[in-house]
A and B are shown apart, each in its own frame.
Chain A
Amino acid sequence: MKKIILTLFLFAFYTISFSQEKSNKISIEFNNTNLKTALENIEKTTGYKFYFDENWLTAETVLINKTYNNISIEDLLNNLFENTSLNYIIRNNEIILTKNSKIHSSLPEGYFETTVPQSDNTVAKPLFHQQYDAIAQNSSVPGIIYIGKEKKGGELKSYTLSGFVKNVKTKNTLSNATIRVRGKNSSTVTDNEGHYKIVVPYGLNYIDIELVNHKKTTETIMVYDDGKLDVSLEESFNELDEVVIKTSANKNVKDVISGVSTIDVEKIKTIPLVLGERDIFRVATTLPGIKTTGEGSAGFNVRGGKDDQNLILLDNAVLYNTSHFLGFFSAVNPYTTSKVDIYKGSIPARFGGRLSSVFDIASKNGNPEKFSGEGGIGSVTSNLSIGAPIIKNKASVLVGFRTTYSEWILKKIDNEDLNNSQAAFFDGIIKYNHKINAKNNIESTLYYSKDRFSISSDSVYKYSNALISLKWNHAFSEKTKADFIFTNSQYKFNIDFDNGTPNSFDYGYKLNETQFIANANYSLNSKHAFNYGLSSKLYNVEPGYLNPKTTDSKIIPIKIDDEKALESALYFSDNYTLNDRILISLGLRYSTYSALGESTQRVYQPNAPVNDNNVIGTNYYKKNEVIKTYGGFEPRIAMRYLFTDDFSVKGSYDKTYQYIHLLTNNTTQSPTDAWKLSDLNIRPQEAHQYSLGFYKNLDNDNLELSLEGYYKKSYNLLDYKVGAELMLQENTETQLLQGEGKAYGVELLLKKNAGKLNGWLGYTYSRTFIKSDSQFLDEKVNNGHYFPTNFDKPHEVSAVLNYKFTQRYSLSSNFVYQSGRPITFPIGSYIYNGMEYTLYSDRNKYRIPDYYRLDIGFNIEGNHKIKKLSHSFWNISIYNVLGRNNPYSIFFVTTNGQIKAYKTSIFSVPIPTITYNIKF
């Protein structure tokens, strides 16, 4: 309707314009006259009458000193308005002034044609008509900012926009904010001073400004000329609606990498909680291609990879155990985490050492301005983080601490078994950040987590993660920046079994790795961006000891020899923009691994199964003597082709090596699974992944649709012989098989980023198989055929939906469905040599029942007064609303010669929790 009225209005102009053909010449003199007075003088001198808003003219402070002789009114006005933002139209004796926009006296050519060609290369047309339409349609646009003024006839194709991005409250400039022209292939990032410069096309543009932890801001601008635009961003705390997974507008289409997701931790608070905790890993598992190994278990499987094939980095240091409480809480404090980048494919060349994925977790910096904090009180855990400036605007510290009072709850429960059990954990993080000058920046992170729990009154399990990370960031030049990183990670666990008998023992394990990384980025030009560096890592593993706790014990102390190894890598990658459509990322990594002494390694008879019966000797290696070296090139290639601005296809190939293996034949990762280094008899695992994806954005980037497929082939994957026992094995290789794996899958994701209803829906079809074939009977599984791995769950559906009623109330829900995982069943008994044995099915021939669960959460925010001292919100969630009795595990117990199957489920009823969060 508006369009029609506008058209009629313009018709009127069209007819009128014929009458103003006459051109009377004017002569006039101005002496230190301001524009308003000048116009009044013209009114007096000529018969013209001006129509305008006085405010427009008072803004023009330039005084005019000029004499015009015999000049046409048009030339006079053009001259007067040259350096102003004013335009005009002459209608008979009336001159109507407009600000910025030019009123056209004729319609652009082709205006009434049904389609308007949208190519970038078409000559810029007068914009007012068609773009006003666009604005009118979108009532939510707050207002248009005009850059420069429209010049009649002199339109350039594009202009330069520059300015600063600032925090709306602190007025500090913000670096690393992304500025992107929506729908155009133009984007930039603010520099260290918060300044940016970007090329924008003529006319109406939407500029999206984004920064981690800040609200995405969109400015609607009308560009007529080069100009300045300063933008203020609001911090995104208390933003309860919106997207949880942030792929910047159009990023999923434009990026060269496929299979990458970013979780902006601030935003995951809308996901329904389990026991009142936000959990980044739980959010991750709602994404296609990432699956939990089971409820209440720590690990996750990425694209058919085992749970030890994920590189979890917290501020560049490896985090070995990602969970508390057998997997119910993530070991990473969500309050101190800023974001997580998850690579399930196209792993950048700078990462290595794991086959399947990288979870690159970055923790927050403390507030450099003032003391601030955030806290949460839930029914099981409590959480507090405090940020404070050390040197204002230069150095800051962030301290986070989290603990549980489950022990207190356990004591309250009227059940003797539970009264005696323990379950406690805590974790703490200290992050220090110091901006020395424009060129140097230092960051350090200290992290420690500890769990202690008992699952029977006579045993206590403990495990802990400790890590330290130091980073020095140095800008050698505008184009070359480098990071020098030192990290150390330690993971250890311990079982203290004391039932008062001589069987009591103390069992422990410890792993330590120290790493140095030099990583550099060099932007050669707009087409090439290089990333290169080297890393080196030293492992020290104490694979286990078992000590009796009493002097009369029958237990013989065991101490497995320490292991040591050095893993190093050189890498180089180039992000190459071939043209507007093709973006190529070429990465090459060369990694090398040496198992080091002091060590004794067995030598097995060649062409015979690796077991105790075929040992032909042992080799002794002195301290730091190289036992065996493995290594190889790991190419990483990714390519993107842009069909249109909102539709692209991406393909990639990755090769990865993994030199350290988690020994677990249980399906779920348990804190007492030990990591084993490759050595003379255990080879590194190797994987090749091919992936292809299609990405399409709809509805102005509000809807994102992606379809990704992958095929992964792996070698030397760890599997276990029938009858394998892994705990405290001196010769682990005798229990292991190293087989071939293959995995493939299709991942479909539909995401709605904004609006009252937002969220995503994912579906994954994936299969993962392993094969252990050999001419030797004991090294053969399922007759040497491919069989499904423990975590082969073909179908998975996950949906996260948020609905915002008002600014203060919102509802979120989360639904998961997974096929049941494979299991090996006992299928009968037989008698052999007079004894009864249980007959087992082929490995993983059967499946446990399917898994599904629905969670619902309700968020209530405190009021939105800006001047309030603190902001708070309540979250009420119900976990497993449907009360589905999902099987956690199915296991078999032999009592009196009878084998019985049992199903364990956790949370078989809806579990409500309530959490209070506060930020000050």
Chain B
Amino acid sequence: MKFKTQHINPLYKILFFAIFCLSVSSCTEQYIFQSNTFESILVVQANITNELKKQEIKISRSYRLGENEQAFEKGANVYVTDSEKNNYDFELEDFSGLYVSKNPFQAVPGRSYQLNITTNDGKSYSSALQTLTSVSEINVEPKIETVDGIKGVQIVVTSNDPTASSKFYRFEYEETYKIIPPYWSPNKLKVDPLSSSIEEPNFLVVPREKETRVCYTTKKSDDLILISNVGKSEDRINFPIRFIDMGSSILNERYSIIVRQYVQSSESYTYYETLKTLSTSSSLFSQVQPGFNYGNIKNNDDPEEKVIGYFEVSSVSSKRIFFNFRDIFPVEPYPPYFMECYPVELRNCWDAKGCAGATILALVKAQVPEKVYYGNRQNMDIVVFVESPCSDCTSVSSNIKPLFWID
């Protein structure tokens, strides 16, 4: 519902009850609960798809509230078996922390798959048997739409399963857009190593060493997108997955989005649905019942042990599209850059009134400079600086061109 707020019901009650506390110190206080409440629980994120590839499984552990480090579970023996008695072994990939199948494989219809894990401490876990869900191909199209009075581009996903056997869908998208800073310069400033004074050095204009003009930012969807077609007359998806305001800077250059559609089983869909409700903040008027969300992976020796995660074997269909601003909006003005840029002129001199030599030196020496060199006038007497993101795209994005990128 729309009226959710992040405040929860009791918080308001407190305000109300405060009248009774009158002059008393606060009635609500932070409560330190017992440190022994923490439980280290195995978290298994495993989704085998029908794509022929090195399948990935992520195994980690839960961590203490307030801490931020994800503890990868290392040294586990991980393999997937199928009903044809095939064994797919996985091995830990050190740099990513993921378990990756030694050989590429894909889930095929009609077989059942089981995930098996033996952790470093000798505990063995198995999942329930899962079969590949039915396949449904998607199409992704950008469309001009006006939402809440704002014109923009709507990314619409469509798919159709004429056999009506898919029904449960989970979507993920990943968008990538090109960034070209408006005040890019091929050069940068550096301290002249031959300067007579170390405190008041001269500056040299040298070419920048890396790509700083064209960058690519990639962002994943940060919400669980779940759609069920139960009770609908047709198993058809026509879903606006992402709306981008026409004035949004991400449309400035070239934009790309890949949408992945996972067809889920009813059970795994329910698992994700519960995950989603648990993560949404409580509304002002009703609270969500908290608790443990049971998945389909169990300790073989101790059925009581809690394991997080649902081993899913799902068919996936994905589609990537690219477009430039003008492809969609032929006449509309381009959106502005991500931030407003204000180049400043600094006098490259020392000691005299109005000299900014010290400021320039600080910017040149800074690891992460607030402003970077853009140009100079009067033979370096005046140096022009501009906010880093306005000139060096690597300050806000990545200069590595994704493999999929097509200009």
Task: Let me know if B20 is at the binding interface, CB within 8 A.
Answer: yes
Q: Which of B14, B31, B167, B285 contacts A672 (CB 8 A)?
A: B285
**Which residues from B are CB-within-8-Å of A833?**
45, 172, 224
Give the CA-CA distance A454 to B19 in the complex, in Å. Answer: 12
Task: Let me know if B294 is at the binding interface, CB within 8 A.
Answer: yes
Task: Let me know if B230 is at the binding interface, CB within 8 A.
Answer: yes
Give the CA-CA distance A839 to B295 in the complex, in Å. Answer: 13
**Which residues from A are CB-within-8-Å of B231?**
612, 615
Task: Let me know if A5 is at the binding interface, CB within 8 A.
Answer: no
**Which residues from B are CB-within-8-Å of A782?**
292
- Interface size in chain A (residues, C-beta < 8 A): 91
Q: B32's closest neighbor in chain A, by CB?
A: A901
Task: Let me know if A134 is at the binding interface, CB within 8 A.
Answer: no
Task: Let me know if B198 is at the binding interface, CB within 8 A.
Answer: no
**Which residues from A are CB-within-8-Å of B304?**
783
Flag if A891 contacts B11 (CB, 8 Å): yes
**Which residues from A are CB-within-8-Å of B7?**
893
Q: A605's closest neighbor in chain B, by CB?
A: B266
B45 to chain A, nearest CB (A): 6
Task: Let me know if B365 is at the binding interface, CB within 8 A.
Answer: no
**Which residues from B are CB-within-8-Å of A723?**
273-274, 276-278, 288-289, 291, 293
Name A437-458 residues within 8 Å CB distance of B: 453-456
B9 to chain A, nearest CB (A): 7
Flag if B294 contacts A893 (CB, 8 Å): no
**Which residues from A are CB-within-8-Å of B270?**
609, 611, 613, 777-778
B102 to chain A, nearest CB (A): 24
Flag if B291 contacts A456 (CB, 8 Å): no
User: What per-residue 1/0 map shows which CB atoms of B23-52 lie under 8 Å from chain A?
Assistant: 010011111111001111101010000000
Q: Which of B33, B290, B296 contacts A777 (CB 8 A)?
A: B296
User: What per-residue 1/0 map shows which CB atoms of A763-804 lie under 8 Å from chain B?
Assistant: 000000000000011101111000000000000000000000
Flag if A507 contacts B291 (CB, 8 Å): no
**Which residues from A are CB-within-8-Å of B14?**
904
Give the CA-CA distance A889 to B289 in the complex, in Å. Answer: 15
Flag if B62 contacts A828 (CB, 8 Å): yes
Give the CA-CA distance A417 to B27 in the complex, in Å. Answer: 15
B249 to chain A, nearest CB (A): 24
Flag if A901 contacts B3 (CB, 8 Å): no
Task: Let me know if B95 is at the binding interface, CB within 8 A.
Answer: no
A824 to chain B, nearest CB (A): 5
**Which residues from A are CB-within-8-Å of B273?**
723
**Which residues from A are CB-within-8-Å of B38?**
827-828
Task: Let me know if A406 is at the binding interface, CB within 8 A.
Answer: yes
Task: Let me know if A909 is at the binding interface, CB within 8 A.
Answer: yes
**Which residues from A are CB-within-8-Å of B60?**
830-831
Give the CA-CA distance A901 to B33 in the complex, in Å. Answer: 8
Given A409-B19, A778-B274, A722:B291 Cβ within 8 A: yes
Flag if B43 contacts A830 (CB, 8 Å): yes
Q: Which of B65, B172, B269 contacts A826 (CB 8 A)?
A: B65
Flag if A495 contacts B277 (CB, 8 Å): no
Task: Let me know if A476 is at the binding interface, CB within 8 A.
Answer: no
A542 to chain B, nearest CB (A): 17
**Which residues from B are CB-within-8-Å of A672?**
285
B226 to chain A, nearest CB (A): 11
Flag if A418 contacts B12 (CB, 8 Å): no
Name A474-518 residues within 8 Å CB distance of B: 495, 497, 503, 505, 507
Task: Let me know if B303 is at the binding interface, CB within 8 A.
Answer: yes
- Interface size in chain B (residues, C-beta < 8 A): 85
- Stretch touching chain B among A123-131, A276-284, A315-323, A724-732: A724-732
**Which residues from A are CB-within-8-Å of B22?**
413
Give the CA-CA distance A889 to B14 in the complex, in Å. Answer: 10
Task: Let me know if B17 is at the binding interface, CB within 8 A.
Answer: yes
Q: Which of A825, A834, A907 contacts B33 (CB 8 A)?
A: A825
**Which residues from A are CB-within-8-Å of B151?**
none
Q: Which of B27, B37, B70 contacts A904 (CB 8 A)?
A: B27
Name A859-898 residues within 8 Å CB distance of B: 887-891, 893-895, 898
Task: Let me know if B275 is at the binding interface, CB within 8 A.
Answer: yes
Q: Which of A495, A507, A893, A898 contacts B11 (CB 8 A)?
A: A893
Flag if B31 contacts A727 (CB, 8 Å): no
Flag if A777 contacts B295 (CB, 8 Å): yes
Give the CA-CA distance A724 to B293 in the complex, in Å. Answer: 12
Name A386-432 residues within 8 Å CB distance of B: 406, 409-410, 413, 415, 417-418, 421, 423
Task: Let me know if A720 is at the binding interface, CB within 8 A.
Answer: yes
Flag if B291 contacts A840 (CB, 8 Å): yes
- Stretch touching chain B among A150-158, A244-252, A841-849: A841-849
User: What per-residue 1/0 map shows which CB atoms of A587-620 lie under 8 Å from chain B?
Assistant: 0000000000000000000001101111100000
A912 to chain B, nearest CB (A): 11
Given A609-B270, A722-B274, A898-B66, A832:B309 Cβ within 8 A: yes
Given A828-B62, A830-B63, A903-B28, A777:B291 Cβ within 8 A: no
Give the CA-CA distance A842 to B293 in the complex, in Å. Answer: 10
Task: Let me know if B228 is at the binding interface, CB within 8 A.
Answer: yes
Which of A415, A723, A835, A842: most chain B CB closer than 10 A? A723
Flag if A901 contacts B31 (CB, 8 Å): yes
Given A453-B16, A904-B14, A722:B290 Cβ within 8 A: yes
Flag if B12 contacts A455 (CB, 8 Å): yes
Give the CA-CA distance A456 to B7 in the complex, in Å. Answer: 11
Task: Let me know if A837 is at the binding interface, CB within 8 A.
Answer: yes
Q: B264's closest neighbor in chain A, by CB?
A: A613
Give the CA-CA distance A421 to B12 in the complex, in Å. Answer: 11
Flag if A612 contacts B228 (CB, 8 Å): yes
**Which residues from B are CB-within-8-Å of A894?**
6, 281
Give the CA-CA distance A495 to B283 in the complex, in Å. Answer: 14
Flag if A837 contacts B279 (CB, 8 Å): yes
Give the CA-CA distance A326 to B15 in the complex, in Å. Answer: 13
Q: B283's closest neighbor in chain A, by CB?
A: A727
Give the CA-CA distance A902 to B30 in the complex, in Å. Answer: 4
Task: Let me know if B208 is at the binding interface, CB within 8 A.
Answer: no
Give the CA-CA distance A524 to B267 in the complex, in Å. Answer: 63
Give the CA-CA distance A92 to B19 in the complex, in Å. Answer: 88
Task: Let me know if B346 is at the binding interface, CB within 8 A.
Answer: no
Flag if A835 contacts B20 (CB, 8 Å): no
Give the CA-CA distance A554 to B1 in the complex, in Å. Answer: 10
Flag if B16 contacts A895 (CB, 8 Å): no
Give the CA-CA distance A832 to B291 in the complex, in Å. Answer: 17
**Which residues from B are CB-within-8-Å of A296?**
17
Give the CA-CA distance A688 to B32 in the complex, in Å. Answer: 41
Task: Let me know if B85 is at the binding interface, CB within 8 A.
Answer: no
Name A728-775 residues within 8 Å CB distance of B: 728
A719 to chain B, nearest CB (A): 9
Task: Let me know if B286 is at the binding interface, CB within 8 A.
Answer: yes
Give the CA-CA distance A57 to B160 in the complex, in Å. Answer: 116
Q: B33's closest neighbor in chain A, by CB?
A: A901
**Which residues from B are CB-within-8-Å of A728?**
1
**Which residues from A are CB-within-8-Å of B33?**
825, 846, 890, 901
Given A829-B65, A903-B29, A721:B289 Cβ within 8 A: yes
Task: Let me know if B88 is at the binding interface, CB within 8 A.
Answer: no
Task: Let me know if A900 is at the binding interface, CB within 8 A.
Answer: yes
Give the CA-CA distance A777 to B146 in the complex, in Å. Answer: 41
B66 to chain A, nearest CB (A): 6
Flag if B228 contacts A503 (CB, 8 Å): no
Sorted from nearest, which 4 A-B pairs have the closest CB atoms? A722-B291, A723-B277, A903-B31, A455-B12
The 28 listed contacts between A and B (C-beta, < 8 Å) are: A409-B19, A410-B19, A417-B18, A421-B16, A459-B12, A495-B285, A507-B285, A613-B168, A613-B270, A614-B266, A665-B287, A670-B9, A720-B289, A722-B274, A722-B292, A723-B274, A723-B289, A777-B271, A781-B291, A783-B303, A828-B39, A830-B308, A832-B308, A839-B308, A901-B30, A902-B28, A902-B31, A904-B13
Starting from the known contacts A777-B271, A839-B41, 17 additional A-B residue pairs (CB-CB under 8 Å) come to: A410-B19, A417-B18, A456-B284, A613-B270, A721-B274, A722-B289, A782-B292, A826-B290, A831-B60, A835-B224, A888-B17, A899-B66, A901-B30, A903-B28, A904-B28, A905-B27, A906-B17
